[in-house]
Amino acid sequence: MSEKRRIVSNTLANGGAQITALVASLVFMPLLIRSFGLTAYGLFLLVTSVAQYAQLLDFGVGTSLVKMISQHLAEGDRDKIGPLVSAALVFYIIVGIAAAAIMVLLGFTAGSIFKVNPEGASLLRNMFLVAAAYSLLVWPANTFVYALGGFQRYTLTARVQLGVTLGLVAAYVAVLLTHEGPLMLFAATSAVTIVGSIVNVVLSLRELNGLRVSPALARPAQLRRIFSFSWAIFLVQLSTVVIYQQTDRVVLGVFLGGAAVGVYEAAGKFQGFISQLVAFSNSAVIPMASHLDASGAEEKLKVLFLRGSKYVLALVAPVVVVLLVLARPLLVRWLGPSFGAMAVNAQILIFPQLLVAGGTIGDSIIVGTGALKRRLPYSLSMVAANLILSLILVQRYGILGVVLGTAIPYLIDYPIHMWWLLRELKVPASRWAREVVAPVYPLLAIPLAVSVAGYFSPLSGSLVGLAAVGAMSVGAYLAGMFAVGLSSDERAEVRSAIGLVRGRFAR
């Protein structure tokens, strides 16, 4: 498979699974709020966020494993993969035990950490105990998911993820129909994810094709090699977990309680949607960048950065514009009139993505090429700013305080971030402006005009009408981009990608 075809295929496979999961969460959110109550739903989200923090115990090993496997394949050193995966497996077994212990400890201390009543403390304890059992099983299985990523077999993991998403939908429906609470939902969704992890293990062992993987093969030298690269990944993961909603939820849970977490989620879902679009666009870049770097293809890395950034912005920016304009009617029609006040918070959260989405492809390339360490001072500064601002502002402005604590560091960091990326990838700023900025941003006048017209039209009176306005706005932008924003080579690439999608659906 050619490089372009592989990255398109892998990106589409990842994106299909991610978008399906996101749509399911959007559909079920209002139903779960009505069934559980706002406070109980907020506590469910709070445990989910704390579980996301537990992902930091990965210490960057998963991403490092993806990069190193891809690099060994590019260099023809397939025999080195088995011991590498074995070392990671031992690490993840230990992490699973540690994560389970942390969840048990949190379960029995939740009532004193978070602002909850005795009933809420009991619910948190039980959900944390479920999370402990989940950790013991899923962490070791993650080894094999990352191995599939190193082989660039995202089509396999995407199929599993799609199956998991359908299982999660079934769990949501069953819990709603039986009028069970958040504890049962948390247990059911955990069980579905565990089944998906087992399937990934089977698929990965088949892909390894005779390469032996066993804790007995693990050697300290392999772990040291992994950690020599993964510590930098870990610090970036720390930045990501802190900035992307998880800290906001935890801070709100500590200072304001579960109901505030539930209300915040209305705005958080907007940011989550944009984050999923960005993740979908970037999901297959790291192993490809590692492969190109190992092959010495510097110019191809530059082209990957410029065209990839342009495509990501062309996908994300018009959606951000539409959500900025239609935030209030969307929240009112989706969750009810009481959530309309969250529109400003949603707009503040997603506005920075008009800018920062353009740097995400570059970040993935930097990870793939192993140059991440030089970015760390900037990333850690953002983490510190986010934490400090959120803790200060939440006590005065409530939910708006944590929203500002998230958005402000993004805006401050953006020019520094882009300067650093262009320097590291040896791309002149003039070339970035000519090939990315100029084609993408002026055309945003199209979705802005269409969505504003839709806002003042009868279509804004229903979710279906708002969806139609959004589709027309983004569709008009993409048509304009295809007509005047892409070069002839880029139009050919888009046609090829469309042909690939049609071929997959035909099969």
- List, for residues 54-105, the tens digit of each pLDDT value: 777 888 888 888 888 887 777 777 778 888 888 888 999 999 999 999 999 9
Q: Are 256 and 291 in contact (CB under 8 A)?
A: no
Integer Cα distance of 453 and 472 in angstroms: 11
Mean residue pLDDT of the chain comes to 82
Q: Which residue has the higher pLDDT, 440 or 266?
A: 440
Distance of CA 450 to the CA centre of its chain: 29
**Where does residue 175 rank: exposed (0-12), middle (13-18), buried (19+ CB within 10 A)?**
buried
- List, for residues 160-217, the tens digit of each pLDDT value: 888 888 898 899 999 999 999 999 999 999 999 999 989 988 888 888 877 788 888 8
Q: Assign residue 84 a region: left if phi > 0, alpha if psi is -120 to 50, beta otherwise?
A: alpha
Q: Are 13 and 280 in contact (CB under 8 A)?
A: no
Residue 109 has pLDDT above 50, yes or no: yes
Distance of CA 439 to the CA centre of its chain: 26
Q: Are 60 and 237 in contact (CB under 8 A)?
A: yes
How confident is the model at residue 147, as a pLDDT?
Answer: 84
Cα end-to-end span (Å), the chain: 17
Integer Cα distance of 200 and 158 in angstroms: 10
- List, for residues 312-343, the tens digit of each pLDDT value: 899 899 999 999 999 999 999 988 888 888 89
Residue 244 has pLDDT above 70, yes or no: no
- List, for residues 423-452, the tens digit of each pLDDT value: 888 899 999 999 999 999 999 999 999 999
| Percent helix, strand and coil across the chain, each to the nearest 5 | 90, 0, 10
The structure tokens listed for 167 are: 């299982």
- pTM for this predicted structure: 0.67
Integer Cα distance of 87 and 82 in angstroms: 9
Q: Are 393 and 404 in contact (CB under 8 A)?
A: yes
Q: Which domain holds residue 204?
A: 3-506
Three-state DSSP class for 41?
helix
The DSSP output letter for 426 is: T
How confident is the model at residue 261, as a pLDDT?
Answer: 74
Distance of CA 130 to the CA centre of its chain: 23
Q: Which residue has the higher pLDDT, 47 or 296?
A: 47
How confident is the model at residue 348, as a pLDDT?
Answer: 92
How confident is the model at residue 5, as a pLDDT?
Answer: 54
How confident is the model at residue 208, as a pLDDT?
Answer: 81
Q: Which residue has the higher pLDDT, 10 or 397?
A: 397
Predicted confidence band at 506 (pLDDT cuts at 50, 70, 90)?
very low
Integer Cα distance of 190 and 195 in angstroms: 9
The structure tokens listed for 401 are: 């305080």
How confident is the model at residue 500, as a pLDDT?
Answer: 56
Closest CA to 359 of 375, 377, 380: 375
How confident is the model at residue 188, as a pLDDT?
Answer: 94
Residue 42 has pLDDT above 90, yes or no: no
How confident is the model at residue 311, as a pLDDT?
Answer: 86
Integer Cα distance of 207 and 150 in angstroms: 11
Amino acid letter, residue 81: I
Of the chain, the percentage scoring pLDDT greater than 70 comes to 86
Closest CA to 258 of 31, 22, 36, 23: 36
Distance of CA 59 to the CA centre of its chain: 17
- Which CA distances in Å does 56 have to 44, 99, 348, 390, 408? 20, 10, 27, 20, 24
How confident is the model at residue 75, as a pLDDT?
Answer: 76
Of the chain, the percentage scoring pLDDT greater than 90 comes to 27
Three-state DSSP class for 319?
helix
Distance of CA 229 to the CA centre of its chain: 22
- If one counts every other C-beta atom within 10 angstroms of the C-beta of residue 31, the result is 13
Three-state DSSP class for 427?
coil
CB burial of 288-302 (b: ≥16 within 10 Å; e: otherwise) equals bbbbbbbeeeeebbe
Q: Are 77 and 94 in contact (CB under 8 A)?
A: no
Helix (H) or strand (E) holding 486: none
Write down the residue that tokens 């760390």 correspond to: 376
In the chain, the number of structural domains is 1
Write down the residue that tokens 């293809």 correspond to: 297
Q: Are 145 and 198 in contact (CB under 8 A)?
A: no
**Rounded mean pLDDT of 22-31?**
79
How confident is the model at residue 1, as a pLDDT?
Answer: 46
Integer Cα distance of 31 and 175 in angstroms: 11
Predicted confidence band at 142 (pLDDT cuts at 50, 70, 90)?
confident
- Which CA distances in Å does 125 have to 118, 134, 248, 255, 278? 10, 14, 21, 19, 34
Residue 362 has pLDDT above 70, yes or no: yes
Residue 487 has pLDDT above 90, yes or no: no
